[in-house]
Structure 1
Amino acid sequence: MVGGRPARLPDAVRVYAIGDVHGRLDLLRKLEAQIEADIAARDDGARPLLVYLGDYVDRGFESMGVIEHLCGPALDGCDRVLLLGNHDAWMRDFLDGQPVGPNWLRFGGDATLLSYGVRVDFKQPEEARIAAAQTSLVERVPAHHRTFLAELELAFALGDYFFCHAGIRPGLALEEQGELDLIWIREPFLGWEGECGKVIVHGHTVEDEPVVRHNRIGVDTGACFTGRLTCLVLEGDEFRFLDTAPGPQPD
């Protein structure tokens, strides 16, 4: 809701907002196939726009494949926006030599390293093994993958919607939001009941089902753990979901 009325997009555009992929290239391909089928079934002239909400890497074992896939062209006939997630930022910063290694490896970065053929020697002291992993990863990551990470956007706004990875800092204007909050925040955003003039569409916080509130829609359904990668479909003042869970999909 925006100002007491349903949020809506501009006419003749349909948005597909895709939640956290986390190295699950298999699920991403499956969901994109569903999106293509949905587009084909709704030949209404609306221009499809895919918004990927970030966290392409870590935890799942095909992070390299996910990045390579997203470095390719968008789905046929679609525009595309690729947003930055906190795990993508960790990888970016690790490649740039910043001291994020211990946290990154502890929360899924080890799977990303393996996808590039880098094995961490846990017999080494932490400082030495992180330095070795950093050197090896820099050698193995293609230049276009680093460009991909560097060019990810922090946020995107369209109509009555504002898309970002994690959420916003309540009380701060949307144009003043910073990277730290946009890719990391949970509270006080998740419990916030206020409005900012747009509905926030985000991932980052895993829930069993998509979360729909008057001021936000969360679409992270823990794909790397559950096998369910979720996509929010927006058109006009309506919304629905697609996902990769087994069984029939909603109309």
Structure 2
Amino acid sequence: MTSPDVVAIGDVHGCASLLEQELTPHLDTGAELIFLGDLIDRSPEPDGDRKVLERVWQLQDNPAAYGLAGVTVLRGNHEQMLLDAMALSTPEEDFDLWRCNGGHKDLLPLAREHKQWFKQLPVTALRGNYLFVHAGVRPGVPLERQSFDDLIWIRKPFLSQPHGLPYTVVHGHTFRNDYQVARLPHRIGIDTGAYLSGTLTTLRLDIPPEPNQGADA
């Protein structure tokens, strides 16, 4: 059975208008969408976080209605900061950390209604020879031993050296100064700083069939 193409979507950060623009070419194509995390925070438009979340939930609830094979959403560090801010016994500094990184208290009621959705977000997805993750991986560490914090937060040494895993890592989290896609043999970085640059990147990848394709983690 042929695996569907995957469309990886970089850090949206509440850019609802850009998301709609970038989604349009991929609807009704039979592809799977994989959002690389950081759907929220730093939105440059009014109510952007809510609009992005509601659109993603709409697609995820019934992908076939939009001509999609599926919709996978990975956890980014901003989703994790929101979860920390919502924790019942959260220290004040966790709320401050989220707020200082673009979080807005007006999102909290909606987020609390969907807290279980945020809590179940996976941190990795394997499709063929591609590993999808928000931030990256720790070089020299097997995938099953990667730390949760590294998967959603790491920059160096991941950005500066080969990771040694048998996958091409497709990630967001860090954008280049020129807001271009970072393409290297071992990784593809598709965060293009949408909330600053006005460019949200989607990357369509052909996934060859794999007899023992990995599951989400």
> TM-score normalized by structure 2?
0.83
Aligned pairs for 1:47-86 within 5 A: 47-60=30-43, 61=45, 62-74=48-60, 75=63, 76-78=66-68, 79-86=70-77
> Does the C-alpha gap of structure 1 residues 27 and 18 become closer, same or farther in structure 2, counting only changes over 3 Å?
same
Aligned pairs for 1:136-175 within 5 A: 137=108, 140-141=109-110, 143-175=112-144
SS at match of 1:16: strand
> How far did residue 232 of structure 1 move?
1.0
Query: Aligned equivalents of 1:145 and 1:68: distance in 2?
Result: 11
Among candidates 95, 106, 127, match of residue 101 of structure 1 = 95
Percent identity, aligned pairs only?
35
Structure 1 runs of 4+ with >2 Å offset? 140-145
1:113 corresponds to: 105
In structure 1, what residue type is equivalent to 2:49?
A: S
Deviations 1:102-140 (A, max 9, x none): 22111111xx324x3xxxxxxxxxxxxxxxxxxxx3xx2
SS at match of 2:204: strand
Number of equivalent positions: 195
Matched, 1:185 2:154: yes
Query: Aligned equivalents of 2:34 and 2:149: distance in 1?
Result: 20
Query: Aligned equivalents of 1:142 and 1:105: distance in 2?
Result: 14
| Structural RMSD (CA) | 1.8
Matched, 1:35 2:23: no
Query: Aligned equivalents of 1:148 and 1:26: distance in 2?
Result: 23
> TM-score normalized by structure 1?
0.73
Query: Aligned equivalents of 2:11 and 2:204: distance in 1?
Result: 15
In structure 2, what residue type is equivalent to 1:77?
A: G
> Unaligned regions of 5+ residues in structure 1, if any?
1-9, 40-46, 117-136, 238-251
In structure 2, what residue type is equivalent to 1:217?
A: I
SS at match of 2:102: helix
> How far did residue 32 of structure 1 move?
0.8
Q: For the pair shown, which has the larger CA radius of gyration, 1 or 2? A: 1
> How far did residue 219 of structure 1 move?
0.1
> Does the C-alpha gap of structure 1 residues 182 and 225 become closer, same or farther in structure 2, counting only changes over 3 Å?
same
2:212 corresponds to: none
Matched, 1:220 2:162: no
| Contact kept? 1:19, 1:220, Cα under 8 Å | yes
Among candidates 177, 181, 200, match of residue 210 of structure 1 = 181
1:3 corresponds to: none
